Structure 1
Amino acid sequence: MGYPDLYILRHGETVWNREGRMQGHLNAPLTPVGRAQAERQGALLAARDLAGFGFWTSPLLRAVETAALALGAIAAEVRTDDRLREIDVGHWQGRLRADCAPAGGGAHGPDGDLSLYAHAPGEGLDAVALRARAFLNDLDGPAVVVCHGIVSRMLRCAALGLHHGAWTELPGGQGNVFHLTGGRMEELR
């Protein structure tokens, strides 16, 4: 299925990101670095023609705070959608990532050990992929979306026509803006 043009933003760095904690559905505020990342996302978007775009955010505090900083001067209205919430990692929420890692851990990148999410209690990756795809299927036009690391990857897999199992192959990091159009992705810097 073809999807409309998308700009997908991951929230800026939070206190818990800096501490190496699993967040899931719990909230932690943005750090000064995270606020600067959100402002940079807004500057990148301000240079784009967003006429006709809808604006969406996860209802979790770190995404709402990022949306306020990044979209406040751009969007007249930013709607929330529960399907954009981060993966629920059950009783791992709030725990240090190192305390959740299996012996030996996995590959580390800008988002830490991604293999943790395949083993986390809670809703599971398949459920996140389903709700991400359902969100995209309900869009009636181009959109700017503020969300989270795992949800961003699942949204991008769907928009790029990839199986959701390819989520670990996509770039990550904090405070990103990805533009997806015509089955292609560009990271804005």
Structure 2
Amino acid sequence: MRYPDLYILRHGQTEWNAENRMQGWLNSPLTPKGEMDAARQGEILRSRDLSGFEFWSSPSGRAVQTAAIACARLADSIHTDIRLREIGVGDWSARLRDELPMPDGPDPYMQQYAMAPNGEGFEALQTRAQAFLDDLTGPAVIITHGITSRAIRSIIVGEGALAKPSVHGGQGCVFHIKDGVQTLLE
């Protein structure tokens, strides 16, 4: 399937990101660094021609706060869609990662999301991300979360979209996807 031109932003650093705490569907506010992350994303977006683009955000406070900073002078309106929220981590919401079981393997942090008791799981996340993409009618700027961004990008680009993860998980940068090719804008 062919998808429209997309710019995908992860919210800026939050207080819980800085504490290495699982957020999932809960929220914590942006840190001063997170506000700078969002401002940097706004600088990147202002250098692009966004004529005809719609702006979509997760309804989570950290994403809405990022959208307000990054897109303030760019968007007439920013729509929210619950399908853009972060993966649910169930019983592990608000828990420090260091207190949780750390599986062995190539990507233990990602495995923690998969094993969270009463969590949403990757299959359900993929399903809602796909449904969001299927409903897009044109080019869009999407403000979302780290794992949801990964899901959206892997649907469009394939697993190659995740081959070179950034140290910051996308905070402060923008992923541009055009014609099935992903470019990291920093």
TM-score, with length taken from structure 1:
0.91
**Which runs of structure 1 show a deviation greater than 4 angstroms over 4 or more consecutive aligned residues?**
105-108
Task: Extract unaligned runs of 5+ from structure 1.
Answer: none
Query: Counterpart of 1:75 in 2: which secondary structure?
Result: coil
Unmatched runs of 5 consecutive residues or more in structure 2 = none
Match of 1:38 in 2: 38
Distance 1:128 1:168 in 2: 16
Q: Paired residue for 2:5?
A: 5
In structure 1, distance between residues paired with 2:57 and 2:12: 13
Contact 1:63 1:147 in 2 (8 A): yes
SS at match of 1:43: helix
CA contact (8 A) 1:11 1:62 kept: yes
Report the equivalent of 2:112: 116
1:147 aligns to 2:135 (yes or no): no
Residue of structure 1 equivalent to 2:126: 129
Which secondary structure state, in structure 1, belongs to the residue aligned with residue 35 of structure 2?
helix
Distance 1:19 1:150 in 2: 18
Report how far residue 102 of structure 1 moved. 3.0
Secondary structure at 1:133 match in 2: helix
| Superimposed CA distance per residue, residues 144-168 of structure 1 (whole angstroms, 9 cap, x where no aligned partner) | 00000110000001121x26xx775
Identity among equivalent positions (%) equals 53
| Conserved? CA contact 2:26–2:93, under 8 Å | yes
| 1:7-34 CA-partner distances (Å, limit 9, x unpaired) | 0000000000000000001010000000
Does structure 1 conserve the Cα–Cα contact (< 8 Å) formed by 2:154 and 2:162?
A: no
Aligned residues: 182
SS at match of 2:177: strand
Contact 1:8/1:179, CA 8 A, preserved across alignment: yes
Distance 1:106 1:17, change over 3 A: farther
Q: Does 2:154 align with 1:157?
A: yes
Alignment of 1:21-100 (within 5 A): 21-100=21-100
**Cα drift, residue 118 of structure 1:** 1.7
Structure-1 separation of matches of 2:161 and 2:49: 28
Coordinate RMSD, CA, aligned: 1.7
Conserved 8 A contact 2:102-2:109: no
In 2, are the aligned partners of 1:8 and 1:145 still within 8 Å (CA)?
yes
Q: Distance in 1 between matches of 2:126 and 2:161?
A: 9
CA contact (8 A) 1:54 1:142 kept: yes
